[in-house]
Amino acid sequence: MRVVGFHSVFSLIFLLEAHVSISMCIRPEELSGKLFTHVDKKKMLTKVREMFDFSFTNYMRHAYPLDELDPIHCTGRGYDFANRQNINVNDALGNYQLTLVDSLDTLAILGNVSAFKHAVELITHSLNFHIDTVVQVFESTIRVLGGLLSAHLMITDPKKRFKSLRPDHYADELLSLAHDLANRIIVAFEGTPSGIPFPRVNLRLSSVETLGYSHTCLAGAGSLLLEFGTLSLLLKDPTYAETARRVVLQLWKRRSNVTGLLGTDIDLISGKWVNQMTGVGAGQDSFYEYLLKSRIAFDDKQMGQMFDSALRSLNYHLRGNETSCTRKDGLPSAYWNVNMYTGGITNYWIDSLQAAWPGILALAGAVEEAKCQHSIHLSIWRRFGLPPERYNLLSKTPDLSFYPLRPEFAESTYHLYRVTKDPFYLSVGAEIVLNLDKYARAKCGFATIHNVQDMSQEDRMESFFLSETLKYLYLLFDEENLINVNEEDFIFTTQAHILPISRLRQLAKLLPFNPFQSSTDYVEGPPYFITSTPESYVCQAVKSTSNVFE
């Protein structure tokens, strides 16, 4: 392994500083409101670019090769070797240049070709997964494996849409790194009686590390198919796709035979649900997202049937089978968290990860429902300026007050604009950008908001701020971006890494065995609408969504 010297890092910083424009001070009143002119778009595009370049440059200067930037003290954050049980940090970090890898395709989308090539050079010559770190399978898959695969697909695009990105003498090094990482974490899928993978592995040893936990969440176990499937197609080896797909089917078999719903956390040994709450937010969201996106990316009809069946159950039990955005009983029209066996409401909070659900609905063609759900999250944003991690719709107060720069609301805003072309969503995007700049900007980047009620900051900038939040906001205002011009041929992973649909489908045809055409163990689902009723919706009333947050 050749080690790239710090002069290479500083050359990347120089390129970024040359690319960045002078920071713009934009006031909300300077935007043209509902019209949202070309000039307005240009202003916001320039602003988002500046926010990315400011953050990324400082990551490279103060934090690289550590995983994250601490933007207040301008230092790096890496794996917590002193406390391996610190899963709040260590589940995301692995001492594998996380922010750099996660940001590769954002650099490409912003058109910073020189910085992209230098980043690829740094990664290919210095990244090594033979590290004594215990990482979460889900996070390492969606952030690192996905980042490597997306960048490789852009570099090797047979349509040459990204031809300027190809580094000299590129020899599939990013794919080789992705292959190595997958081989180190695939051990998590072996040896559990339930067939559901362990959530964590040691990268150096390629061995399972339980850290005292015997359960995993629905999203963590069941949201790996896009990345593992893409790797299978590129390697012409169906093993990885089969492995991830088999887990989805194991989880699906364990849904309630009364409601058709799945829980949140499941025991790896017994295969029984230890958290029986069903929702579309934290711990569950990307499971449903990947059912839908596997149909789109791989033409996996079975996953598509499962999404359709799941959506019917979710609409009936979580949404109360309502068709109006404003409920007659006064309750907000949210997808409530319910018990998977009874359909009864378990709590009255909505979390910030649930803000991705409107985008999933829009992608599924349920545009009016997507608009309705988006409006609920917009109300929360506007009440605080930035959203709390969890908001209680009954008490009208945050249950969890922090905001770690999550992308989900920006993601749904982007998808709804692409579907509707309604300039209202451009105005919403502008609000997001300006509030991030107002409240989260720190000395060297953008900081987690510790409490949205006083906008106090916390010294952490997670990699998804660059890989997702700013990517979606940039694409929202860049109508002519290659991704938008060819939007029917691209799908975003749950970490906003970009995959080419037509290429993946073509590669699937070349496999001797196509794992995405299997229908093993599929069952249509129970008659949820006959045997269960959402009677617990008749409960303490909440005002309609227009006033519930006042």
> What tens digit of pLDDT does each residue of 181-201 get?
999 999 999 988 899 999 999
Distance CA 342, CA 277 (A): 10
- Residue ending a domain, among 429, 456, 477, is 477
Domain that holds residue 422: 40-65+348-477
Residue 442: CB partners within 8 Å, gap ≥ 6? 71, 72, 457, 459
Could you tell me if 473 and 492 lie in one domain? no
Could you tell me if 257 and 122 lie in one domain? yes
pLDDT tops 80 at residue 447: yes
Residue 519's pLDDT is 64
Cβ atoms of 277 and 318 within 8 Å: the answer is no
Q: Tell which residue, 215, 218, 214, 294, has the closest CA to residue 250.
A: 218
Residue 545's pLDDT is 29
Judge whether 118 lies within some domain: yes
- Residue ending a domain, among 477, 499, 530, is 477
531 — pLDDT class (breaks 50, 70, 90): very low
Q: Which amino acid is at 37?
A: T
CA separation, residue 187 to residues 94, 203, 220 (Å): 17, 10, 15
Distance CA 215, CA 266 (A): 5
**Residue 421 half-sphere exposure toward CB, CA atoms < 13 A:** 2
Distance CA 206, CA 130 (A): 9
Distance CA 7, CA 374 (A): 46
Judge whether 111 lies within some domain: yes
DSSP letter string, 163-211: GGGPPTT--SHHHHHHHHHHHHHGGGGSS-TTSPPPSEEETTTTEE--T
Cβ atoms of 43 and 25 within 8 Å: the answer is no
pLDDT tops 60 at residue 544: no
Distance CA 241, CA 178 (A): 14
31 — pLDDT class (breaks 50, 70, 90): very low
Annotated catalytic residues are 139, 285, 389, 408
Q: What angle do CA 111, 407, 215 make, to 5 degrees?
A: 125
Calculate mean pLDDT across residues 343-365.
Answer: 97
Judge whether 543 lies within some domain: no
H-helix or E-strand spanning residue 138: helix 137-139
Judge whether 27 lies within some domain: no
Which of 2-6, 105-109, 316-320, 519-523 is the most confident on average? 105-109
Q: Which amino acid is at 191?
A: G
DSSP 403: B
* 494 appears as a binding residue in the annotation: yes
Judge whether 216 lies within some domain: yes
Residue 491: CB partners within 8 Å, gap ≥ 6? 226, 293, 296, 297, 498, 499, 501
Distance CA 207, CA 190 (A): 10
Tokens 């996905």 correspond to 146
Could you tell me if 276 and 391 lie in one domain? no
280 — pLDDT class (breaks 50, 70, 90): very high
Six token digits for residue 56: 């990324």
CATH number of the domain bearing residue 120: 1.50.10.10
Calculate mean pLDDT across residues 162-176.
Answer: 95
Could you tell me if 454 and 376 lie in one domain? yes
CA separation, residue 434 to residues 324, 431, 445 (Å): 32, 5, 15
7 — pLDDT class (breaks 50, 70, 90): low
**Cα 4 vs. chain centroid, distance in angstroms?**
30
Calculate mean pLDDT across residues 252-269.
Answer: 97
Could you tell me if 289 and 412 lie in one domain? no
Could you tell me if 511 and 464 lie in one domain? no
Could you tell me if 282 and 403 lie in one domain? no
Strands (E), 284-432: 337-339, 345-347, 349-351, 390-392, 397-400
DSSP 546: T
Distance CA 412, CA 432 (A): 12
Calculate mean pLDDT across residues 233-256.
Answer: 97
Could you tell me if 54 and 120 lie in one domain? no
- Residue ending a domain, among 417, 448, 477, is 477
Say if pTM beats, i.e. exceeds, 0.85. yes
Residue 333's pLDDT is 83
Tokens 């899963």 correspond to 87
Calculate mean pLDDT across residues 204-227.
Answer: 94
Give me the phi and psi of 260, to 5 degrees please. Answer: 80, 10
Q: Which of 183-187, 324-328, 384-388 is predicted with the least confidence, judged by mean pLDDT?
A: 324-328
Distance CA 284, CA 218 (A): 5
Could you tell me if 502 and 374 lie in one domain? no
Q: What angle do CA 145, 146, 149 make, to 5 degrees?
A: 85
On average, the pLDDT of the chain sits at 89
Q: Which of 39-43, 145-149, 261-265, 524-528 is predicted with the least confidence, judged by mean pLDDT?
A: 524-528
pLDDT tops 50 at residue 449: yes
Could you tell me if 256 and 132 lie in one domain? yes
Cβ atoms of 405 and 436 within 8 Å: the answer is yes
412 — pLDDT class (breaks 50, 70, 90): very high
Give me the phi and psi of 344, to 5 degrees please. Answer: -75, 140
Could you tell me if 54 and 93 lie in one domain? no
Calculate mean pLDDT across residues 405-422.
Answer: 98
Judge whether 352 lies within some domain: yes
Judge whether 107 lies within some domain: yes
pLDDT tops 80 at residue 18: no
474 — pLDDT class (breaks 50, 70, 90): very high
Six token digits for residue 72: 């207040």
pLDDT tops 70 at residue 497: yes
Residue 530's pLDDT is 33
Six token digits for residue 391: 């908001």
Residue 527's pLDDT is 41
Residue 19's pLDDT is 46
Six token digits for residue 547: 């006033």
Distance CA 73, CA 274 (A): 40
Six token digits for residue 123: 């990664």
Calculate mean pLDDT across residues 134-143.
Answer: 98
Paired residues of 337 in beta bridges:
347
**Cα 499 vs. chain centroid, distance in angstroms?**
14
Judge whether 71 lies within some domain: no
Could you tell me if 291 and 421 lie in one domain? no
Q: Which of 37-41, 149-153, 448-452 is predicted with the least confidence, judged by mean pLDDT?
A: 37-41
Residue 184's pLDDT is 98
pLDDT tops 70 at residue 86: yes
Residue 244: CB partners within 8 Å, gap ≥ 6? 224, 225, 227, 228, 229
Residue 444's pLDDT is 99
Q: How many structural domains does the chain have?
A: 2
4 — pLDDT class (breaks 50, 70, 90): very low
